[in-house]
Amino acid sequence: MIKKLLKSVREYKKDSIIVPVLMAVEAIMEIVIPFLMTFIVGELQMVAENKKTEVDMGVIGIAASLMIVCAVIALIAGSLGAKLAAKASCGFAHNLREDMYNNLQSFSFENIDNYSTASLITRITTDVTNVQNAYQMAIRMLVRAPILFIASIIMTIVIEPIMALIFAGAAIILGVVVAFCMFRVIPYFRTMFKKYDALNAVVQEDLTAIRVVKSYVREDREISKMKKATGDVYTYSVKAERILTIMMPSVMLVMFIVNIIILTMGSNMYVGNIAGNIQPSELQTLIQYSAQILSGVMMVAMCLNFIALSRGSAERIAEVLDEKTTLPRAKEQITEVKDGSVDFEGVEFRYSQKADVAVLKNIDLHIASGETIGIIGATGSGKSSLVSLIPRLYDVSKGSVKVGGVDVRKYNLDALRNTVAMVLQKNVLFSGTIAENLRWGDENATDEQVREAAVQACADEFIQNLPGKYDYDLGQGGVNVSSGQKQRLCIARALLKHPKIIIFDDSTSAVDTKTDATIRENLRKYAPETTKIIIAQRVASVQDADKIIVLDEGRISGIGTHEELLESNEIYREVFQSQVKGGEE
């Protein structure tokens, strides 16, 4: 997992290597300063004890000068290290988000179905921030702290070996406390991140459906859901932090006990009550080293705190990075689609390999290039699933789907999808102007081509009445236009792509029957060679198609023209009669 994440360091690898070196320099300088202080205090002590008549200012001057040099070096190394660490960690987070998003773009619909939108947002935002903080702490503190600890122990051994045993014992005790806290806290953090997903899901669902919430006066219910979601995050955060609060008091307690022991033993050594030989200047240095040793342990504890928090995040990020698309690519990918013919041969389809029930069963169907095909059937009969196999949004479980006489699995995916345009059941527009949205079909389209596509989709008539016309800002998700206008804009966007196959997945349901008929007439007139597949609930939308396919529970119940199906297919006849009842019979 760590190796997978560290691949995202890339161009910041140099900075990530320099930072530990600078931290090591800073730590060594901080170790040398107390040692130099020993010479100054020792010189003054000898004069105070009448062992020397006067202070040797040369010794004091050299020691003081070296201390100043060490302090300046430590300051420069520490400041530069902090700056580079911030740069490296921010760059690492930037690359990590980019790599996750790039991998998400390669996902098939089956891959995307494995994650909720809220979970993916949490992983790209909160989880990456947690990993970024842990990375910055790791390249700084996890290098500086051990060097401080080890070097302080070595200097303590040089001054008085017995004292080093005290420090080692204190470090072992603290190590046990830290390990215990980490072992207990990690499961809470893992659960907390799942609660974050649930929290984001509530927010996303509420904001997306805010009009429904207000129209049904369910604000109190949504507030209650939000309160529960935030309460769950709070509960597990408190449980985790309650354990982590043990660490700092434990470090401080051990530090005070160690100082008391050092002062007691040092004093007795100096007056000769116990074996050993130590001077007050050395005792002062040992106290400083004890502070550095235990501060090093505190730094490690702090780092482990961040690492414990980020471990669950790192696992969730690695899960997204490790996810491979379920649409494997052929070694030799075909980049040219000959025509718009479509063939289903013995097709069976399940949304998941683990699914017990097949959504589509025994589908055998030939659609000639340029034909207009209508698909009708009850909700859940598999209409959208059927057409999703054509641009290879999903792969078949059995059989094959061919476009232009070639299995879709042999095509370059971009080439195939550039040939097929889909107007989805759910109309999706993006923030920006009308022209910018339509140019999703062809980013190089001229203004004339954009307008021509809008005219064919019967969208130009209302665009001309908008302020700014094609430069009119649609707002986020196209909130400034009606559902029917959204549908016509989505149809225009698909037509601008000039596809060989165009699929309408119940995409004229929000427009009136006259406009629906006009759009279909424009398709026959302006795109005669394009294969047109129309999924509809209204018989009127498909009755003039070359062939109509009736789906029932994932199987083809009947194929034929409007008149043929009225004669031969009971399902089609019932749908037709239910729609014309009370009208023209």
DSSP-assigned letters across all residues of 321-388: HH---SSPPPSS-B-----S-EEEEEEEE-SSTT-SS-SEEEEEEEE-TT-EEEEEE-TTSSHHHHHH
CATH number, domain with residue 284:
1.20.1560.10
Whether the per-residue pLDDT at 252 is higher than 50: the answer is yes
State the pLDDT confidence band at 583, using cuts at 50, 70 and 90: very low
Which helix (H) or strand (E) segment holds residue 406: the answer is strand 406-407
> Taking a C-beta distance cutoff of 8 angstroms, is the pair 121, 199 a contact?
no
Instruction: Tell me the pairing of strands 531-535 and 372-377.
Output: parallel
Domain identity same for 293 and 408 = no
Alpha carbon of 73 to those of 27, 32, 59: distances in Å? Answer: 10, 12, 21
Residue 240 within any structural domain of the chain: yes
Whether the per-residue pLDDT at 485 is higher than 90: the answer is no
Lowest-pLDDT choice from 42-51, 112-121, 299-308, 310-319: 42-51
Q: For 532, which DSSP code?
A: E
Task: Compute and round to an integer the Cα radius of gyration of the chain.
Answer: 36
Domain identity same for 481 and 520 = yes
Residue 33 within any structural domain of the chain: no
Residue 173 within any structural domain of the chain: yes
Domain identity same for 309 and 348 = no
Whether the per-residue pLDDT at 425 is higher than 90: the answer is no
Domain identity same for 311 and 406 = no
Residue 546 within any structural domain of the chain: yes
Q: Find all residues with CB under 8 Å of 386, minimum gap 6, and list them.
A: 344, 360, 363, 375, 551
Domain identity same for 113 and 176 = yes
Please state the pTM of the whole predicted model.
Answer: 0.72
Whether the per-residue pLDDT at 273 is higher than 60: the answer is no
CA dist 257 and 262 (Å) reads 9
- pLDDT tens for 216-231 read 788 888 888 889 889 9
Q: What is the pLDDT of residue 582?
A: 46
Lowest-pLDDT choice from 196-200, 337-341, 358-362: 196-200
Whether the per-residue pLDDT at 585 is higher than 50: the answer is no
Domain identity same for 433 and 508 = yes
Q: What is the pLDDT of residue 368?
A: 92
Q: What percent of the chain has pLDDT over 90?
A: 13
Domain boundary among 288, 322, 356: 322
User: Which SS3 state, helix, strand or coil, does residue 422 take?
Assistant: strand
Domain identity same for 372 and 450 = yes
Domain identity same for 279 and 369 = no
Q: What is the mean pLDDT of residues 465-476?
A: 85
Domain identity same for 354 and 245 = no
Residue 318 within any structural domain of the chain: yes
Say how many domains are in the chain: 2
Q: Find all residues with CB under 8 Å of 22, minimum gap 6, and list them.
A: 77, 78, 80, 81, 84
Q: What is the pLDDT of residue 72?
A: 93
Residue 87 within any structural domain of the chain: no
Residue 526 within any structural domain of the chain: yes
CATH number, domain with residue 461:
3.40.50.300
SS (H, E, C) 192-216: HHHHHHHHHHHHHHHHHCHHHHHHC
Domain hosting 366: range is 342-580
Q: What is the mean pLDDT of residues 370-374?
A: 91
Q: What is the mean pLDDT of residues 525-553?
A: 87
Q: What is the mean pLDDT of residues 166-189?
A: 80
CA dist 21 and 278 (Å) reads 34
> Taking a C-beta distance cutoff of 8 angstroms, is the pair 274, 160 a contact?
no
Four-CA torsion 365, 368, 370, 371, nearest 10 degrees: -50
State the pLDDT confidence band at 344, using cuts at 50, 70 and 90: very high
Q: For all residues of the chain together, what is the average pLDDT?
A: 83
State the pLDDT confidence band at 342, using cuts at 50, 70 and 90: very high
Q: Which residue has tokens 């029930």? A: 357
Alpha carbon of 286 to those of 74, 280, 543: distances in Å? Answer: 20, 10, 94
Domain boundary among 322, 356, 385: 322
> Taking a C-beta distance cutoff of 8 angstroms, is the pair 92, 314 a contact?
no
Domain identity same for 459 and 508 = yes
Q: What is the pLDDT of residue 49?
A: 61
Residue 57 within any structural domain of the chain: no
Domain identity same for 392 and 508 = yes
Nearest to 408, CA basis, from 495, 349, 322: 349
Domain identity same for 188 and 313 = yes
- pLDDT tens for 280-315 read 667 777 777 777 777 777 777 777 777 777 888 888
Q: What is the pLDDT of residue 343?
A: 93
> Taking a C-beta distance cutoff of 8 angstroms, is the pair 340, 404 a contact?
yes
